């Protein structure tokens, strides 16, 4: 089943991928550590325009919160990696619920996959429906605290399949820690949106510019970045 943003047409601008530089990247990369099949590709590549916007966002962050820096968790993702991570996430979710995938009915697997697909795009090879990360226009980012030399606790780890990943999950909480989580999530959105990025409705960490999701969220008629493997 198509997601709403996948109906947006793509007018590919043919901008090249470029390696992320001048920003903190999460190393070792978690998906590579799991054995995701990147081949000769790197997860820390984006389209040239995305890198420029990331640098603008970083400069803005330094002005308003000097001790914080943007940290890139994940960026470009080949479709084979998308498939690997969807399969991995499905298996992890089943395990977390005490279920065995090979003993589940197709109906049960479909219900479990629907939870996964709230957070992961289908690994489509159709050039009209590329996964956002496979366009080089989507990035997963968090904050790094230069004072403590650690990632900032944002209330839920990146990729957690639960309601805690929803951007506004902590908005109604009143305890000090939850208020801090919500404040930092809103700050991240402020910093990224100031540079033109749009945030994924279900993920506090996922932002994009120029892909189908960005076009859908910003009420644009056309995306400018399509799947790189179809170029």
Catalytic residues: 203
Cα 210–chain centre separation: 14
Return the half-sphere exposure (C-beta side, CA atoms, 13 A cut-off) of residue 177.
5
Distance CA 186, CA 175 (A): 17
Under a CB-based contact definition with an 8 Å cutoff, are residues 189 and 143 in contact?
A: no
Question: From residue 61, how far is each of 48, 108, 201, 227 by CA, in Å?
Answer: 20, 44, 22, 30
Residue 140 pairs with which residues in a beta bridge?
74, 206
**Which burial class, exposed, middle or buried, applies to 225 when counting CB atoms under 10 A from its CB (0-12, 13-18, 19+)?**
buried
Give the end-to-end CA distance of the chain in Å, rounded to a whole number: 24
Length of the chain equals 231
Query: What would the DSSP string read from start to end of 46-66?
Result: EEHHHHHHHHHHHHHHHHH-T
């Amino acid at each position: 089943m198509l997601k709403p943003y996948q109906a947006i047409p793509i007018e590919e601008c043919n901008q090249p991928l470029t390696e992320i530089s001048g920003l903190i990247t999460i190393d070792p990369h978690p998906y590579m550590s799991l054995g995701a099949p990147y081949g000769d590709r790197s997860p820390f590549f984006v389209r040239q325009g995305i890198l420029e916007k990331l640098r603008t966002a970083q400069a803005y962050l330094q002005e308003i919160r000097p001790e914080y820096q943007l940290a890139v968790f994940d960026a470009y993702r080949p479709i084979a990696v998308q498939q690997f991570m969807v399969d991995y996430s499905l298996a992890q979710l089943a395990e977390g619920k005490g279920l065995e995938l090979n003993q589940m009915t197709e109906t049960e697997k479909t219900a479990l996959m629907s939870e996964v697909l709230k957070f992961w795009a289908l690994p489509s090879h159709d050039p009209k429906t590329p996964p956002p990360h496979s366009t080089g226009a989507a990035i997963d980012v968090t904050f790094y605290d230069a004072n403590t030399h650690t990632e900032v606790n944002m209330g839920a780890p990146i990729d957690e399949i639960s309601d805690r990943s929803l951007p506004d999950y902590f908005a109604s909480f009143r305890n000090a820690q939850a208020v801090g989580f919500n404040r930092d999530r809103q700050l991240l959105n402020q910093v990224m949106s100031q540079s033109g990025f749009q945030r994924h409705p279900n993920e506090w960490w996922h932002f994009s510019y120029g892909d189908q999701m960005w076009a859908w969220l910003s009420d644009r008629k056309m995306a400018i970045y399509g799947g790189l493997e179809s170029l």
